[in-house]
């Protein structure tokens, strides 16, 4: 949890200093938190019990990537049910990010991209 919090703080500080809107910052922070949560809850850690969180920012695009030690199966949003306690995270990512993708090999890499204007 602390690492997700630190990553979120660092990313939001960078976005704020770059001139992002409050809505952009909130959306990105929510997606980053969900991506890290999914990696912890459903993936395996990389060596040294860590995950990798990276981002790149330019005036028109923010790309956020979370890499873990691998998942058991494909990642795709599922229709939520009224009784399920979870299962809405990928739908949220899909709704807030401009694009997102999953790369599966010996690791799992989830990338969310946001079209932005700075």
Within its chain, how far is the Cα of 69 from the centroid? 15
Highest mean pLDDT among 32-41, 54-63, 98-107: 54-63
Nearest-angstrom CA–CA distance, 63 and 98: 10
Confidence of residue 1 (pLDDT cuts 50, 70, 90): very low
Give the mean model confidence (pLDDT) for residues 94-100: 96
pLDDT digits over 12-44, tens only? Answer: 999 999 999 999 999 999 999 999 988 888 888
Helix (H, G, I), strand (E, B) or coil at 111: strand
State how many domains the chain has: 1
What are the distances in angstroms from CA 55 to CA 72, 74, 78, 88?
25, 23, 26, 23
Predicted TM-score (pTM) of the model is: 0.87
65 bridge partner residues: 54, 111
Domain containing residue 101: CATH number: 3.30.565.10
Give the mean model confidence (pLDDT) for residues 54-79: 84
- The pLDDT of residue 89 is 83
Task: Count CB atoms within 10 A of the CB of residue 21.
Answer: 13
- Domain of 91 in residue numbering reads as 2-115
Helix (H, G, I), strand (E, B) or coil at 9: helix
């Amino acid at each position: 949890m602390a690492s997700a919090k630190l990553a979120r703080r660092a990313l939001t500080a960078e976005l704020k200093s770059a001139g992002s809107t409050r809505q952009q910052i909130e959306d990105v922070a929510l997606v980053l938190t969900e991506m890290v949560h999914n990696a912890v809850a459903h993936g395996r850690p990389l060596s040294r019990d860590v995950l990798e969180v990276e981002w790149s920012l330019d005036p028109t695009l923010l790309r956020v990537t979370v890499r873990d030690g691998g998942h058991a199966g494909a990642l795709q949003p599922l229709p939520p049910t009224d009784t399920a306690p979870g299962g809405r995270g990928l739908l949220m990512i899909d709704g807030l990010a401009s694009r997102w993708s999953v790369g599966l090999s010996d690791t799992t890499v989830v990338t969310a991209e946001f079209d932005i204007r700075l």
